[in-house]
Structure 1
Amino acid sequence: MKALLPEDEIARLAVLHDAEVLDTLPEEDFDDIALLAAEICGTPMGLVSLVDEDRQWFKAKVGLDLDETQRDISFCAHALGGHEVLEVPDARIDSRFSENPLVTGERNFRFYAGAPVVLDGTHSVGTVCVIDHEPRELTAEQRRALRSLARHASVQLELRRYAKHAGNIADRLRQLDRMKDSFLANVSHELRTPLSSIRGYLEMLLEDDFDAETSQRFLAVMQRNSDRLLRLIDDLLTVARLSDDGLALDLNEVDLAELVHQVTSSCRPLAEHREVKLRDRTASPLPARGDARRLQQALNHLIVNAIKFTAPGGEISVTSSIGGEPELIITDTGVGIPPGELPHVFDRFFRSAAADTMAAPGPGLGLAIVRSIIDAHHGSIHLDSEPGLGTTVRLTLPGP
């Protein structure tokens, strides 16, 4: 008779697979458990059996030449419904097993006793069991010993799970340390570069008497670097607020097309410097409800990002749609993003391989801030990209 599935079957299989023990090589700790079970109970066979979705697999075995059997004929599968020892004194007269091929065939199983191996204090994933070719019964002491050995097997499996999780945590901590070091180095570089430029031009202005036109050029460079510093500081403050109480918004009706016009106008000198065409094709008005300053911050990040990763001669366009909710579409002909990086582009401090290759400035906060701003507005942002062909960002916001 086939055993009924336990009520916790899905969770039971999950913790079993989480232990990552199935189909592993023999281990002395488990071999000792199987050997002690057979010796204490006086049986020719002792097993540490784990019951998977459609099979039972033997992590350790004494007196048996099988590595696994089908779950349908497993004695151990009948022990999964509880935490007590399942004892079958004579399988030939037990309706659950009398027609089992392990009983009627050359294996000639007669006696079985199995104590469940329990994980998380709840889920039975297998048994420590003993088998004999002759009918018999265990003594009370043997049953206690079998339960004790099953608890020992459970501890071994739990230790395996904890070791794996501890290793994962350690890996995450090491990754966080690397990210922190990289972040501090990037921020330090991002702060020092414009400051060094400003200081250098100031020293020249103070030491020499330049004509008005040259002085004006110096002042324009200093202003651009000051703006760069302010944007970085604003990004850092935004991230700090997100980590604390979330992002506060000053919501009003805004014209997204006007915001795009303002941002593209401010970004056009950078685009021209990099020989990239920046086209504003939004239809005004494009009413929405939002925080104008925060939305400008998000749009600036998206457009500056597109400029940084678009080669000379390329093009960036911003279009709009009012099919339902107001939508902005930013399309570029840049380097694109590899499929493996797409799931991470909105992560904080993530810098793509292209950013490092092209020495693009930035600590890896821009797109994370964009996502946070759009989420705070209850909008949505979707990014599609193909390496070598470009990237399209679709940004949708609630209507007014």
Structure 2
Amino acid sequence: MPVDEPARLAALHDAGVLDTAPEEDFDDIALLASEICGTPMGLVSLVDSDRQWFKAKVGLEIAEVPRDLSFCSHAINGHDLLEVPDATTDARFADNPYVQQGLRFYAGAPVVLDGTYSVGTVCVVDLEPRELTEAQRRALRSLARHAAVQLELRRYARHAGEIADRMRQLDRMKDSFLATVSHELRTPLSTIRGYLEMLLEGDFDGETSHRFLSVMARNSDRLLRLIDELLLVARLTDEAMELDITELDLADLTHQVTTGCRALAEHKNVQLRDRTQAPVPARGDAKRLTQALNHLVVNAIKFTGEGGQIIVGASADGEPEMTITDNGVGISSEDLPHVFDRFYRCASADLMAVQGPGLGLAIVKSIIEAHHGSVHLSSEPGVGTTVRLTLSSR
């Protein structure tokens, strides 16, 4: 077994060639090896953890053999060609079943990736004892180097494709981000500007002017929230979240959040209930945890239809935990894996015209993980959503 076996296997698997279809480039190498060396069998073999698999083969029908019966598993222990003139007289191979069935001669030149890892061989096999000439040995080594180049070219091409895919994905994310943030900024700014122009150009009574100013104030608050979220996400990208950890009561925190959100719930004719009764002691940053819970409750209100219900609770069965359950529109199975991604907006958000750049749940996750806790979200379309925020008890 090579001393660098884990790294060798990693290099082999990274080449991405195991169990692929035949390719002319490798078939030519096996054919040339057989013809140059004058043997009935020529192979391009790759030695996996428990098998020797043939990427190309001439004069052989089987696709692989067990590694413990493989001659090539000996050849990959170095970078030099391994030649066995007569296997019946070699203690390493004399009792090998293939030798007992007639195999006599073997010569294999290692296929070396990155100048380090012998992942397989270009080898030739015969049923008669023989020895290669020096020219044949040079040719076999050259063919092994050619096989290594072919493997590396395929690896580089695959990696280049993956990088291109990631760049295209980043471009799509960038375009989506710019479009979302542009919309989120322009909408309230346009509203504020429109009402300002009407106030400046018109002669309105006090009540109408006050109503205009109230609309402008709400849109200003919306802008400030967006900017705060963008700044927070930018800070989280560069550094860990700073927390002001104190002893607190999650029951009191849930009560404050539900009280603060009740007016919004009543406006949508949604019932908002706080089911926490007993104190729930915990350690955490009250401001950040309030921010996380408030976002989830407001989110639940936005995605719960008229006549719906939202239940907020806290408990200390095991580790401290807060739960938000609604019977709203729910989240599709396609959206569910991405809801905590930054700038991701579910299809239902666009359908219901819910505002926001798609940062809230990412921020909630960051806040809870900064507390060494976890966020668990389960949802079913048309049934509702449950979010559990579990804090570490340490």
Candidates 333, 344, 360, aligned match of 2:338: 344
* Count of residue pairs the alignment pairs up: 394
Using the TM superposition, give the Cα deviation of residue 277 of structure 1 relative to its aligned residue in structure 2, in angstroms.
1.7
Give yes or no for the alignment of 1:60 onto 2:56.
Answer: yes
| Structure 2 segments unaligned to the other structure (5+ residues) | none
| Structure 2 equivalent of residue 219 of structure 1 | 213
Distance in 2, Cα, partners of 1:300 & 1:127: 62
Structure 2 residue matching 1:316: 3-state secondary structure? strand
| Structure 2 equivalent of residue 155 of structure 1 | 149
Using the TM superposition, give the Cα deviation of residue 103 of structure 1 relative to its aligned residue in structure 2, in angstroms.
3.1
Using the TM superposition, give the Cα deviation of residue 330 of structure 1 relative to its aligned residue in structure 2, in angstroms.
0.9
| Structure 1 equivalent of residue 303 of structure 2 | 309
Using the TM superposition, give the Cα deviation of residue 228 of structure 1 relative to its aligned residue in structure 2, in angstroms.
1.3
| Structure 2 equivalent of residue 17 of structure 1 | 13
Structure 2 residue matching 1:150: 3-state secondary structure? helix
The 8 Å contact of residues 258 and 284 in structure 1, kept in 2 or not, is answered as no
Structure 2 residue matching 1:395: 3-state secondary structure? strand
| Structure 1 equivalent of residue 164 of structure 2 | 170
Q: What are the within-5 Å matches in structure 2 for residues 67-216 of structure 1?
A: 67-105=63-101, 108-216=102-210
Distance in 1, Cα, partners of 2:115 & 2:277: 62
| Structure 1 equivalent of residue 43 of structure 2 | 47
The 8 Å contact of residues 255 and 284 in structure 1, kept in 2 or not, is answered as no
Distance in 2, Cα, partners of 1:346 & 1:178: 18
Distance in 2, Cα, partners of 1:189 & 1:167: 33
Distance in 2, Cα, partners of 1:287 & 1:65: 70
| Structure 2 equivalent of residue 34 of structure 1 | 30
Distance in 1, Cα, partners of 2:128 & 2:348: 71
| Structure 2 equivalent of residue 328 of structure 1 | 322
TM-score, normalised by the number of residues in structure 2:
0.89
AA partner of residue 115 (structure 1) = A
Structure 1 residue matching 2:376: 3-state secondary structure? strand
Distance in 2, Cα, partners of 1:8 & 1:336: 50
Structure 2 residue matching 1:356: 3-state secondary structure? helix
- Segment drifting more, 151-160 vs 356-365: 356-365
TM-score, normalised by the number of residues in structure 1:
0.88
Q: Compared with structure 1, are the counterparts of its residues 64 and 345 closer, same or farther at alpha carbon in structure 2 (3 Å cutoff)? A: same
Distance in 1, Cα, partners of 2:169 & 2:85: 56
AA partner of residue 305 (structure 1) = N
The 8 Å contact of residues 194 and 228 in structure 1, kept in 2 or not, is answered as yes
Distance in 2, Cα, partners of 1:69 & 1:377: 53
| Structure 1 segments unaligned to the other structure (5+ residues) | none
Once the two structures are superposed, residues 96-138 of structure 1 have per-residue CA deviations (whole angstroms, 9 ceiling, x without a partner) of 4334443333xx3211011222334443322100112221122
Percent identity of paired positions between Structure 1 and Structure 2: 75
Using the TM superposition, give the Cα deviation of residue 323 of structure 1 relative to its aligned residue in structure 2, in angstroms.
3.0
| Structure 1 equivalent of residue 373 of structure 2 | 379
Q: Compared with structure 1, are the counterparts of its residues 216 and 255 closer, same or farther at alpha carbon in structure 2 (3 Å cutoff)? A: farther
Distance in 2, Cα, partners of 1:197 & 1:129: 76
Once the two structures are superposed, residues 283-342 of structure 1 have per-residue CA deviations (whole angstroms, 9 ceiling, x without a partner) of 465443333332232222212222222222221111011234432111111222334433
The 8 Å contact of residues 281 and 316 in structure 2, kept in 1 or not, is answered as no
The 8 Å contact of residues 89 and 135 in structure 1, kept in 2 or not, is answered as yes
Distance in 2, Cα, partners of 1:55 & 1:211: 87
Structure 2 residue matching 1:134: 3-state secondary structure? coil
Distance in 1, Cα, partners of 2:71 & 2:56: 16
Distance in 1, Cα, partners of 2:52 & 2:199: 82
AA partner of residue 131 (structure 1) = V
The 8 Å contact of residues 287 and 399 in structure 1, kept in 2 or not, is answered as no
Q: Compared with structure 1, are the counterparts of its residues 225 and 154 closer, same or farther at alpha carbon in structure 2 (3 Å cutoff)? A: same
Distance in 2, Cα, partners of 1:72 & 1:247: 53
Distance in 2, Cα, partners of 1:116 & 1:58: 14
